Amino acid sequence: MRVESTDLTDVLVLVPEPFRDERGLFTRTFDTEIFDNAVRRPGAGASFLQDSQSRSGAGVIRGLHGRSGRGEAKLVRCANGAVHDVLVDIRRDSPTFGRQQAFLLDDSEFRHLYVPPGFLHGFQALTDTADVCYRIDRPHDPTEDLGVAYDDPGLAIDWPLPVTVVSPRDAKAGSWTQLIQQL
């Protein structure tokens, strides 16, 4: 597994290197030692407390979600299908505050996205079925939920497909300007 840096401070992409033969493939999807070395924090990989999975159809958008307080770290991957994954840095003291970056996560390259605390995260399913797996380092506390509307003009995210479905919660999410005032 190799680790790639991104344009957003502290965000990493972990890229498994599958072994392929006539049977198909085998790949390691997580390695604590490699992860700990990449984030320069011994024991960081063992700190993930929860694994979750979502399934979405083409065009569905989930997000943009974040957490207040200590935030949460996530390791995100698409186990089936493909998604257009978007991060927005909401750490006021970060050199990349307010910047966004998009990533293709799919079931052929197996890329994992390490999202440190202090980011909004959302994605759009690009395939008929997209299963996204999240490894999260804190239990969910709904009182810390943050959100910005997926179509907020202040962020102007370029979603690749027409939007088919968003949750009622995401449809009522606030604006980027409102979130900045909360931080």
Catalytic residue list: 65, 134
- Please tell me the number of Cα atoms within 13 Å of 3 on its side-chain side: 17
Q: Which residues pair with 113 in a beta bridge?
A: 13, 76
Question: CA–CA separation, 117 vs 150, rounded Å?
Answer: 20
Question: CA–CA separation, 16 vs 5, rounded Å?
Answer: 14
Closest CA relative to residue 10, chosen from 139, 111, 97, 86: 97
